[in-house]
Amino acid sequence: MTLQETSTTTVHSSSGKQDLSFLPPHAHIYFVGIGGISMSGLSEISVQLGYKAAGSDMHLTHRTQYLEDKGIPVFAGHAAANLICFQPDLVVHTAAILPGNPELAYARAHGIPCVDRARFLGYLTAGFDQVINISGTHGKTTTTSMAALILIASGMEPTVHLGAELDAFGSTVHMGKPHGLFVSEACEYQRSFLQFYSTTAAITNIDYDHVDCFANLSEVIDVFAEFSQKLPSAGTLVIPAFDPNVAEAVRRMPKYREPLGLSMPRIVTTGKKGDIFEVTGEPADVYADLITYHDGYPEFDVYIDQIFYAHIALRVPGDHNVYNALTAIACAYLNGGTAKAAEDVLSSFTGAEGRYSIKGTYKGATVVADYAHHPAAARATLAAASHIPHKKTWVVFQPLTFNRTEVLFDDFVTSLLPCEHVLFAEIFSDREINPGTISSSMLADKINKLGGKAEFFADKKDIIRRLDEWVSEGDLILVLGPEDIRELADELIRIENAK
């Protein structure tokens, strides 16, 4: 079957499916940890679907203020009194909520249903006719954003859930036609995406990550194979033709699908011209040809079933974004997206918040913030930056979580060793206690021992002082890692604008 024969018929499996129909109309939904990037968006979607929403968070931010401006009450801190005030019919909580939380304790003691964020998102996906879930170790947010914007420009009216803010939305979500088409990124952390129903599912790539959840790469591959359980036989799986870990996940899928009476879904592969999917020996179904770079940004032709589809000129750099764009185009095409929308959207798309975001300049150097917190992501961002015209590159890097840094230590070293200069901030984690056995200073020491150039700074203010000493016009400053360090990029711009 060719992609041209695809229909957008609803293809949900009924096995184990549960949506929000158990709630009364205009039910009250309370979000514990509402300031989280996903939770804030879910509360906003809930209101758009006709429910009343409120929540609490220990940290009030611009995101919680945004919700308050939308009429969603936010309580500072967690207390049973908050639930007594709001009288919820359902309580949704993040995985980060600690045992003994007073709000969850009150809800359970009074028989109020409680679900975690992943299950609630699963309920949402089950309530839509068509659902695109985009998964993968890297590139989920970018690919989901691209696909969603293409579908919006094609007039498909999707509801969208992202793991980052998007300027086009002014938020992390976009509300389209209720119960029509839903587009979401699907994260494997704590096996969350096993709750999500799909009619189209995508895997961008598979690497070893979330080492606190998975003992090794094989476990990660296995959970992606299990992810296919929520995709019915009439559904479609979009995958890269060239990724051996994804190919292995496909080989393992039957052991999860056959016991449920599910045959394999249709598989659509993406890649560059000449890429072969090793499981079938067939070339990529959606591929890029004639890739060139203009001022650091890739431009290429897209073919579907070996027929020219669109000419794409990206405004986000790197080969990895060529692959992200191909996955987005395939997912959109399968659900009513048009070639013109793909061309128009991708020629102006400059990324979601924190994904190769050009913040401005500092002392004449371009400042870029990117959520490249994994060695493979760091390599991809550095390779993308190498195509951008500049003089020296200054990399500010903060590892995310102690366990990831410890387990992937050598990979972090080899990914950052080629950099001209690396300025390390201390490891950031909001879900672990510092074990005292690992530090960013150890990464800097190992890189220097191997002949690289790295420095460690216990205080991020000292990183700014060092950049002030060294940076000159025409340089490139890459600030890589979680939001904690990406705020440094914003601080550099504030300092420059204050001059």
| Helix (H), strand (E), coil (C) string for 333-397 | HCCCCCHHHHHHHHCCCCCCCCCCEEEEEECCEEEEEECCCCHHHHHHHHHHHHCCCCCCEEEEE
Instruction: Check if the beta carbon of residue 307 is closer than 8 Å to that of residue 277.
Output: no
Strand ranges inside 223-285, DSSP E: 236-240, 266-272, 276-277, 282-283
| Domain span at 444 | 357-498
Q: Give me the residue label for tokens 């498909």.
A: 156
Nearest CA-CA partner of 150 in 314, 381, 320, 355: 314
Question: If you average pLDDT over residues 469-488, what whole number do you get?
Answer: 95
Q: How far apart are CA 340 and CA 311, in angstroms?
A: 9
Which of the listed residues 116, 144, 167 is the one where a domain comes to its end? 116
Q: Are residues 371 and 458 in the same domain?
A: yes
| Domain-terminating residue out of 346, 369, 396 | 346
Alpha-carbon distance of 384 to 378, in angstroms, equals: 10
Mean pLDDT for 180-199 is 95
In the 8-state DSSP scheme, what is residue 264?
Answer: P
Co-location of 99 and 140 in the same domain: no
Note whether 332 and 369 are same-domain residues: no
Q: Which residues does 80 contact at the CB level (< 8 Å), separation at least 6?
A: 102, 103, 105, 106
Q: What is the pLDDT of residues 81-116, one digit of tens each?
A: 999 999 999 999 988 787 899 999 999 999 999 999
Q: Are residue 237 and residue 301 in the same domain, yes or no?
A: yes
Q: What is the pLDDT of residues 208-236, one digit of tens each?
A: 999 999 999 999 999 999 999 999 999 99
The pTM of the full predicted model, rounded to 2 decimals, is 0.92
What is the average pLDDT across 148-166?
96
pLDDT tens column, 230-273: 999 999 999 999 999 999 999 999 999 999 999 999 999 999 99
pLDDT band at 2 (very low <50, low <70, confident <90, very high): low
CB neighbour burial string for 262-298, b if at least 16 within 10 angstroms, e if fewer: beebbbbbbbbeebebbbeeeebbbbbeeeeeeeebb
Which residues are registered as beta bridge partners of 385? none
- Domain finish residue from 73, 92, 116: 116
Lowest-pLDDT range of 149-153, 402-406, 432-436, 446-450: 432-436
Residue 335 and residue 368 in one domain? no
Mean pLDDT over all residues of the chain?
94
Is the pLDDT assigned to residue 354 strictly greater than 90? no
Domain shared by 281 and 397, yes or no:
no
Residue 77: per-residue pLDDT: 95
Whether 2 maps to a domain, the answer reads no
CA 398 – CA 395 distance, rounded (Å): 10
Is pLDDT above 50 for 202? yes
Give yes or no: residues 341 and 388 share one domain. Answer: no
Q: Is the residue at 447 inside a domain?
A: yes
Q: Taking residues 295-307, what's their average pLDDT?
A: 96
| One domain for residues 107 and 228 | no
Confidence band (pLDDT; 50, 70, 90) for 15? very low
Please report the pLDDT score of residue 446 as a whole number.
98
At residue 133, the 3 state secondary structure works out as strand
338 pLDDT more than 90:
yes
If you average pLDDT over residues 15-25, what whole number do you get?
Answer: 78
Q: Work out the average pLDDT over 58-74.
A: 94
- Total domain count for the chain? 3
Indicate the SS3 state at residue 254: helix
Residue 456 domain-assigned (yes or no): yes
Q: Using the 8-state DSSP alphabet, how is residue 170 labeled?
A: T
Top mean-pLDDT range of 10-14, 198-202, 349-353: 198-202
Give me the pLDDT at residue 137, please.
97
The proportion of the chain whose per-residue pLDDT surpasses 90, expressed as a percent, equals 87
pLDDT at residue number 14: 38
